[in-house]
Structure 1
Amino acid sequence: MNKNKMGLMGLCLFLIGLLPVNVALAAQPDCAEVRAKYQCPVEKKKITLSFDDGVADVTPKVLDVLKREKIEGTFFILGNKVDCSLYTNDCKTNPQSEQCQSFQLCQQRRQTLSRIKNEGHMIGSHSYEHDRHTAIPLAMAERNIQKSRQILAPFFTTEPAIFRLPHGDGWFNQKTSPQVMEALKRNKFEHIGWEMTAFDWNPKYQDGDKILDNVMNQMCSGKGRVGVVLFHDGVFENEHIGRTFTADNLARWIPSMRCAADFVPLNYFKKNLRVK
C-alpha cells in the first residue's frame, strides 16, 4: 500500500473516531427552546433524582447514565429483591432449576446494589414488601420496616438511614394515619418523599417524551418546584425485570432537564443526613 492510500485511510479512521463525539454534541438540546417550551426561568432550579422499586436488571444501565452525567442519585430498595435467603441455592446439584436461576439473579442484584454504593449514590429502604402500609395491620407494617433494615443495613449510606414508603402511603396521609410514620421513627428511619414525580410507572406516559414533560412541567410551570424527583428503575411486581422505558430514555431526558436545573445530591436538601 502506497503512502497516499495509507494517509487517506488514516484520515478516514480519524474522522470515524470523531463521529460519536459529534453525534453526541448534535444531540444536545437548544436550552433556550427547552426553557421556552416549558416556561422555565433562566435561573436554574435544584433537583435530585431518586429511583424506586429496584434493584432490577436495568439498574446498571441507569448507573451508566448517572456516571456519564456525573449525577449522584438516590435509590430506594425493596428488601425482598435482595434477600437471597428466599431462594434455595441448589446450583451445584440442579443448575437448571428455577430456584437456582432465581438465586443467581438475586446475587446479581446484590452485586448491583454494591455498585450503587461504590459509585457514590445514596441508598435507602423502600420497605421489605411493596405494601400500602396503612392498609395492613400495624404489626405487619413494622415487621416490613424492620426486616428491610436487617437485609439492607450493610448498604445504607446515611445516618439516619433513609426510607420511602411504597405508594407514599403513611406519608401522604400521615395526619389521618400517623402510626406508620411513628413506626419509622421508632426504627430510626428518616422518611424521604418527593416534590416531583415522573409518573414513569404509568404505561400511558411510556411514549415519546411524555415522562420528560411531566417532570419539566412540574419543575417549571407557575412558580415551579425544587427538590426530589421520583423515577423508578424497578417493577415491584416483578422479581428481576425493571423499568425498561425509563432506563432506555433517561440519557436523552437528562440534558433537557439540565437546561432548567442543576443536579444535586439528596443531602443538599436534607442537611441532617450524615453521609457515611
Structure 2
Amino acid sequence: MEPKSRRCIALTFDDGPSPYTLQILQILKKFQIKATFFVTGESLSLHPEILQSVVLDGHTVGNHTLNHPDITKISQDDLHREIHSLNIAIKKIIQQDVKIFRPPYGAITKETYRAVYEIGLFPVLWNLDTNDWDLSQTEPIEDRVMRGLKEHNIILMHDGGGPREQTVKALPGIIKSLKQKGYEFVTIPDYFHYVYNRRI
C-alpha cells in the first residue's frame, strides 16, 4: 500500500501527564491504537510515573515546553531553556530522546520554527482542533471531530491543564466513528512518514 493511499488519524494530547492520561491510556489500549502525548514540565513534575506508562504502552512523547509560554513572546535564550530543560527531564524518566515539539497555543513564527528545528526538534501543529478545553461549548466533542474531518488529520485534544472528563468520555465514541470511516490511527512520526513520506 502506498503511503498516500492511507487515510490517517494522529490523535494528540497536550498538557499532560495527569490522572486523566491514565484513563486515556486504558481507552487506547482497549482499541489497540497508538497516540502522541505532548507533555509540559509543570505536569511532568507532578506525575513522572504516568509518563513512564505512556511509553510502556508504546505511545510517542513530544515536548510542549517547560512552563507553557507563548514562544513568540519570549527571548531565544528563554526558548532554548524551555525546550532543553524539558528534554532533559523527559529523557531522565523514559531514557528516550524527544524528537517532536508542539508550541503552546499553536503560536509559532518562521523565526521560532527555525530555532526549534535547529535545536533538533520537529515542530508539529494540527489541522483539527476539538476545542475540548473549552467547557462552555455545547456541541459534543465527537460532533466537532466528525464535522472537521479531512483525508488526513492531526487531532488536538488535551489530557492535562484542567478538567478533562469530557475528553475522556468522548474518546471511545470518536475512535469508534473514525474506525467505521476507515481511518488508520498512527503516531506523529508515522503520520509524517505515511502522509508526506518524511522521516522525523
Q: Which consecutive unaligned segments of at least 5 residues does structure 2 have?
A: 194-198
Gap change, CA 1:82 and 1:265, over 3 Å in 2:
closer
Q: Residue in 1 aligned with 2:8?
A: 46
Q: CA deviation at 1:257?
A: 2.1
TM, length-normalised to structure 2: 0.86
2:122 to 164, 169, 190: 190
Q: Does 1:256 align with 2:177?
A: yes
2:156 to 193, 206, 230: 230
Q: CA deviation at 1:242?
A: 4.3
**Equivalent pair of 1:117/1:123 in contact (CA under 8 Å):** yes
Q: CA deviation at 1:156?
A: 6.9
For residues 41-68 of structure 1, the C-alpha deviation after alignment (integer angstroms, 9 at most, x for no partner) is: xx98321101000011211000000000
The aligned runs of 1:1-276 (5 Å cut-off) are: 45-83=7-45, 106=46, 109-154=47-92, 155=94, 161-170=99-108, 174=109, 178-205=110-137, 207=138, 210-219=140-149, 224-235=150-161, 242-260=163-181, 261-271=183-193, 272-273=199-200
Gap change, CA 1:269 and 1:249, over 3 Å in 2:
closer
Q: Distance in 2 between matches of 1:225 and 1:231?
A: 18
Identical-residue share of aligned pairs (%): 26
Q: Distance in 1 between matches of 2:141 and 2:151?
A: 16
Gap change, CA 1:44 and 1:185, over 3 Å in 2:
closer
Q: Distance in 2 between matches of 1:245 and 1:269?
A: 26
Q: Distance in 1 between matches of 2:69 and 2:187?
A: 27
Q: CA deviation at 1:139?
A: 2.1
**Equivalent pair of 2:36/2:61 in contact (CA under 8 Å):** yes
For residues 3-25 of structure 1, the C-alpha deviation after alignment (integer angstroms, 9 at most, x for no partner) is: xxxxxxxxxxxxxxxxxxxxxxx
Higher relative contact order, structure no. (Cα contacts within 8 Å, ≥ 6 residues apart): 2
Q: Residue in 2 aligned with 1:90?
A: none
Q: Residue in 2 aligned with 1:20?
A: none
Paired residues, what number? 189
For residues 182-201 of structure 1, the C-alpha deviation after alignment (integer angstroms, 9 at most, x for no partner) is: 22122111111112111111
Rg larger in 1 or in 2? 1
Q: Distance in 2 between matches of 1:68 and 1:255?
A: 11
Q: CA deviation at 1:138?
A: 2.6
Name the Cα RMSD after superposition.
2.1
Q: CA deviation at 1:270?
A: 2.1
